[in-house]
Amino acid sequence: MTKHQGVYRIQKPGSASGSWCVQVRVHGRVQSKSFADSKHGGKEKALDAATKHRIELLESLGLSARLNKPSNPYPGVSRTESTREQGTSKRSDAYWQAYWTDATGKQRTQRFSIRQLGEEGAQSAAIKARMHAERSLAAGEDPFFIQPSSKFARLWRYMDFTKFLALLEDSALFFSNATRFEDPYEGALSKSNRQHRDFVLSRAQQEPRPVATQESEDYAISCWYSAIHESAAMWRLYAGSNDAIAIRTSFGKLRAALPDCIKIGLVKYADYNQQWISEQAPIHRFMYKRISFKHETELRAIIDFNDPRAPLNGQMVDGNYLVCLDLNRIITHVFVSPKSQDWYFDLVCKVCKRYGLKVTPIRSSLYDGPIA
């Protein structure tokens, strides 16, 4: 990571060359320009050109004062300010941000508001985010699995009472074998893969090979709804009755509770008639769904039984898998169907207490009438 303020290095792992990127934020808008090593005679000359461009750009915008700001002592962490118009007035916001280049060569940024966290709090959060990114890259995590932007991102799992009772009785999270899903496109490749795969692989400098066969039985999947608010559609689709239940957790709690060998990521929604489905690893195919399911905003946790690290703290049941864990570590809320009757709500409360779940159930207010 460069020590030159406002100039960032972009270079894919294993690549001998890359580029320098200049970014300047003015009135809420970012002006950026890249300087490739190949076009400027090497890495150092590209850096000189980028640095010169930044100085000239700031001077032309009347922002020369920024040139005298002290450099930041933490690599990959910087303080930034933005101004945006709100009606006839302007609002200024300041942030500490972490930035890094992921394993695919794409630059990632995460910002923390000074207004919300304070100066030290925002800076500390940015430093932690940068350190976390470095640890993830060092651990060789698969960049294909895109994770929620925050560990506090809410995750929901809708179920009927029978499945909720089984969850409490087994104290284990249910992973369904991929062969049990109703969607015939689960784990499938697209028409584009079959029509254009030789061309795509040749561009990636890979030898053409036969289309891989589907291996759904090698994977078990736990599906979650990723959203801030509960969903009326999910109550209807996956709960199945007025006696349904939804449990809620956060991405951070789920990730911490599950073994590292279990991959977690947001589902990618694709047009199977036109879009390419990743063939880099067989497991990638199970992270795609058709666009018609996009309303589910799904997050998946996947067990690959070919992985020698596959979790041992559980049991196989008819091809499905139960991962044993402490439910009190992940379940933060229990919601009961908005159409449930009083006796059923009371039953859920008693069952939670009997199994030692330290959460007080809440009846969903989704269909409560408007305030008069």
Helix (H) or strand (E) holding 290: strand 288-290
- What's the average model confidence in pLDDT over 56-83? 69
CA dihedral sign, ordered 246, 247, 252, 255: negative
For the chain, what is the mean pLDDT?
Answer: 82
DSSP state of 189: P
Between CA 359 and CA 21 the distance in angstroms is 49
How far apart CA 320 and CA 317 sit, in angstroms, is: 5
Residue 168's pLDDT is 96
Helix (H, G, I), strand (E, B), or coil: what is residue 118?
Answer: helix
| Per-residue confidence (pLDDT) for residue 59, from 0 to 100 | 79
pLDDT confidence of residue 24: 74
Distances (CA, A) of 298 to 71, 155, 156, 188, 201: 41, 9, 9, 18, 29
Q: Which residues pair with 299 in a beta bridge?
A: 224, 266
For residue 149, the model assigns a pLDDT of 80
More confident residue, 202 or 231: 231
Q: What digits encode the pLDDT tens for the residues 283-322?
A: 889 999 999 999 899 999 999 888 877 766 778 888 789 9
Yes or no: say if 159 and 173 are a contact pair by the CB < 8 Å rule: no
Return the structure tokens found at 187: 């784990």
Fold of the domain built from segment(s) 1-71: Double Stranded RNA Binding Domain (3.30.160)
Residue 208, pLDDT > 60, answer: no
How far is Cα 363 from Cα 182, in angstroms, rounded to an integer?
A: 30
Radius of gyration of the chain (CA): 25
What is the percent of the chain with per-residue pLDDT over 90, rounded to a whole number? 34
CA 323 distance to own-chain centroid:
22
pTM higher than the cut 0.85: no
Look at 71 and 75; give whichever has higher pLDDT.
75
User: Nearest 5°: phi and psi at 210?
Assistant: -60, 155
Torsional sign, CA 53, 58, 61, 62: negative
Going from N- to C-terminal start, the domains of the chain cover 1-71, 87-141, 154-363
pLDDT, tens digit (0-9, with 9 covering 90-100), for 85-98: 666 776 677 888 88
DSSP 150: S
Asked if pLDDT for residue 213 goes beyond 70, the answer is no
Residue 99 confidence (pLDDT) above 90: no
Mean pLDDT of 160-167: 93
Structure tokens at 341: 């009757």
Identity of the amino acid at 355: Y
- Parallel, antiparallel or unpaired: strands 288-290 and 268-270: parallel
Choose between 251 and 113: higher pLDDT: 251
- Which of 2-6, 16-20, 124-128, 291-295: highest mean pLDDT? 291-295
Q: What mean pLDDT comes out for the span 4-9?
A: 69
Provide the pLDDT for residue 114. Answer: 86
How many other C-beta atoms can be found within 10 angstroms of the C-beta atom of residue 95?
22
Average pLDDT over residues 112-123: 83
- Interhelix angle 161-170/342-354, rounded to 10 degrees, is 10
Nearest CA among 17, 14, 25 for reference residue 99: 25
φ and ψ at residue 353, rounded to 5 degrees: -65, -40
- Euclidean distance between the first and the last CA atom of the chain, given in angstroms as a whole number: 58
- The tokens for 317 are 């049941």
Distance CA 364, CA 11 (A): 49
Beta-carbon neighbour count of residue 264 at 10 Å?
Answer: 20
Q: Does the pLDDT value for residue 210 go beyond 60?
A: no
Distance CA 50, CA 29 (A): 19
